[in-house]
Structure 1
Amino acid sequence: MGQGIFHEHNFRSSDGLLLYARSYGPPPSPSAATPIICLPGLTRNSRDFHELASFLSTSRGIPVIALDYRGRGNSERDADKSHYTVAVETTDVITACAHFAVEKAIFIGTSRGGLILHNLVDRAPSLIAAAVLNDIGPVIEIEGLLAIRDYLNSSAASPSWAKAPGYLRTLHGGDFPVLSDGDWSDMAKAIFRDEDGIPVPDFDPAIAQSLRGLTRETPLPDLWTPFDAMSQVSLMIVRGEHSRLLSETTVREMRRRHNAMTAFIAPGQGHAPLLHLDGPRDAITAFLNDLARSR
């Protein structure tokens, strides 16, 4: 991982849990550019956004904040496992915005982060200046969700840091042919934490276990109503070329309903695309440039 400079923050959730965030660039303020808040995937953390946050904060002078949800990364694990829900995590995002005195932000939501944005637009719509949805939309494909269930609950584990990148390539390489050896190494550093020299997934195992009851017959939420509520928000969708969670059909319908939406297909990537690679990074930069010109 690159050496971008960031500051570490801890703050309390509304129910007293100690949560963690990283900030890059200048602190949010009325005189600064509209801040970007990065929301990671289901079991992921702020380290996923390190390269992108470093780039955006240094090249554009934008304040960037990346969050660890409860139970992930450096945030405290919750004793009540029933709190690992989109609704509770949305409340935590609202609390984070209050902690950083952010009244309006551009949100980048990867997978679970995008689901939180669908909830946030109902709970606190005034917070959303614009949004980037990374490989997530109003319809979740069950096959992709089952694949996530299976690899998160697999008994296999990486036996060493040296073998961790190869282990991840074995799991996900078919969906991510574009990734280099360095990319797989960076992914390992983002996903795992070190415990006595052994890489261990950096999230509460209860989060993965909650998916074990998922089947092809499990009803999934229809999120078109909250998506339609984003019609007044500048919106971008990034879909991995090989995504099994977000379909091309869903993206077409999203564009029909939100005809000003920007869409980008991340070549050689599956769920969920690494946004700091040249293609997605350049597309997000162009989206931010368009936002700046429209203001």
Structure 2
Amino acid sequence: MTDFSDIYYASSDGRLPLYARDYGLPQQGSLQGIPQNGPAILCLHGLTRNSADFHDLAMHLKGRYRVICADQRGRGRSQWDPDAINYQPLIYAADMVRLLDYLSLDRVIVIGTSMGGLMAMILGTMARTRLVAVVMNDVGPELDPAGLARIASYTGKTPPAANWAQAAELAKLTNGVAFPDYGPDDWVAFARRLYTENAEGVPVLAYDPAISGGLKADTQTPVVPPDLWAMWDALAGLPILAIRGALSDLLSARTLEKMAQRHDGLKTVTVPNRGHAPMLDEPEAIAAIDAFLAEPRVSA
């Protein structure tokens, strides 16, 4: 028996088969007060990542919630898009609405890392009535240019790996600043999430290099609606938890403070010794997510 089942469905434009992991329905019986008909959790990954990023968190939540972890088009087991202009958060968000329709899910808690958090804000305008709550992982309505430049420096440009040891070294090279306490075993595990294995047993990055087409050529910023603060303000009334890595170069402490000023009741937590972005397996992140999900407005 596997930890999750496979979901295959059509993209919002009907052209691509997309994939998601389904960690199953809540178990019967006592679930810490969480009703059986409570909201599902939809996990949305970052720019170059995929559904595997959320495995540890999903296993922690499994049995209490139905957890769905999606591979966006061009990542993981979802098909690559022959038209790179479609690699942008607005279209990804439309794909997620299609996934919710396919699964007949009317109430979800969205957990979004980096680009996934931008998608959560977009879903707040596309499908607001379906959102019960949002967890924003190291992203906000204002993106630090330093972090954007770092991400753009390797997206679609990472050299090929000859073996898994080299894949781990490359993962460390591009992400080491965010995880300064990781050891060799951690980087192997990280690489196993970031890469897949081809028929010859060689690791290859689990994303289409063309996803960099979703970055504006002039500024290397994501193609998203221009006024993200307006989208943030539109989430007023929704319970939101904002998680920040203490070393983050994408979400500044100042932006997090501004987010709290403009969203009454925002819950925040800063994860020590983490940059962009926490893996959400850190004790501080797990504790904050558990407490947030236990709030009556979120779990009902």
TM-score greater than 0.5 by the shorter chain: yes
**Matched position secondary structure for 2:178:** coil
Please tell me the root mean square deviation across aligned C-alpha atoms, in Å.
2.4
- Please list the CA deviations of residues 173-215 of structure 1 after superposition, one character each: whole Å capped at 9, or x if unmatched: 2331133433322211111011222211111111025437243
Scaled by the length of structure 1, what TM-score is found?
A: 0.91
Are 1:259 and 2:259 matched, yes or no? no
Corresponding residue for residue 271 of structure 1: 276
Which of 191, 208, 221 aligns to 2:212? It is: 208
Are 1:183 and 2:181 matched, yes or no? no
- What's the offset of the Cα at 1:269? 0.9
- What's the offset of the Cα at 1:128? 0.7
The alpha-carbon distance between structure 1 residues 56 and 294, as it changes in their structure 2 partners (threshold 3 A), is: closer
**Matched position secondary structure for 1:8:** strand
> Contact (CA 8 Å) 1:25, 1:64: kept in 2 or not?
yes
Alignment of structure 1 residues 17-36 onto 2, 5 Å? 17-26=16-25, 31-36=36-41
- 18-27 vs 132-141, which moves further: 18-27
- 285-294 vs 83-92, which moves further: 285-294
- What's the offset of the Cα at 1:27? 6.8
- What's the offset of the Cα at 1:25? 2.8
The alpha-carbon distance between structure 1 residues 209 and 226, as it changes in their structure 2 partners (threshold 3 A), is: closer
The alpha-carbon distance between structure 1 residues 257 and 99, as it changes in their structure 2 partners (threshold 3 A), is: same
- What's the offset of the Cα at 1:8? 0.5
- What's the offset of the Cα at 1:218? 9.9
Structure 2 unaligned residues grouped into runs of 5+? 28-34
- Please list the CA deviations of residues 25-57 of structure 1 after superposition, one character each: whole Å capped at 9, or x if unmatched: 3179x9433110000011211111011001101
- What's the offset of the Cα at 1:219? 10
Are 1:12 and 2:10 matched, yes or no? yes
Structure 1 vs Structure 2: percent identity of aligned residues? 37
Counterpart-to-counterpart distance in 2, 1:145 and 1:232: 29
- Please list the CA deviations of residues 198-242 of structure 1 after superposition, one character each: whole Å capped at 9, or x if unmatched: 211111111025437243899983311110111110000011111
Alignment of structure 1 residues 78-93 onto 2, 5 Å? 78-93=81-96
Give the AA of the match of 1:18.
P
> Contact (CA 8 Å) 1:32, 1:62: kept in 2 or not?
no
- Matched residue pairs, number? 291
**Matched position secondary structure for 1:230:** coil
> Contact (CA 8 Å) 1:146, 1:214: kept in 2 or not?
no
Are 1:228 and 2:227 matched, yes or no? no
- 201-210 vs 259-268, which moves further: 201-210
- What's the offset of the Cα at 1:292? 6.2
The alpha-carbon distance between structure 1 residues 27 and 79, as it changes in their structure 2 partners (threshold 3 A), is: farther
Are 1:139 and 2:142 matched, yes or no? yes
- Please list the CA deviations of residues 5-33 of structure 1 after superposition, one character each: whole Å capped at 9, or x if unmatched: 100110112322101010113179x9433
Are 1:282 and 2:287 matched, yes or no? yes
> Contact (CA 8 Å) 1:149, 1:212: kept in 2 or not?
no
Structure 1 unaligned residues grouped into runs of 5+? none
Are 1:43 and 2:48 matched, yes or no? yes
Give the AA of the match of 1:20.
Y
- Please list the CA deviations of residues 109-142 of structure 1 after superposition, one character each: whole Å capped at 9, or x if unmatched: 0111111111111111011100000011000111
Query: Which portions of structure 1, spanning 4 or more consecutive aligned residues, are displaced by more than 6 angstroms?
Result: 216-220
The alpha-carbon distance between structure 1 residues 238 and 214, as it changes in their structure 2 partners (threshold 3 A), is: farther
Corresponding residue for residue 62 of structure 1: 65
Counterpart-to-counterpart distance in 1, 2:269 and 2:61: 18
- 102-111 vs 30-39, which moves further: 30-39
- Please list the CA deviations of residues 87-109 of structure 1 after superposition, one character each: whole Å capped at 9, or x if unmatched: 11111000000111110100000
- 171-180 vs 112-121, which moves further: 171-180
Scaled by the length of structure 2, what TM-score is found?
A: 0.89
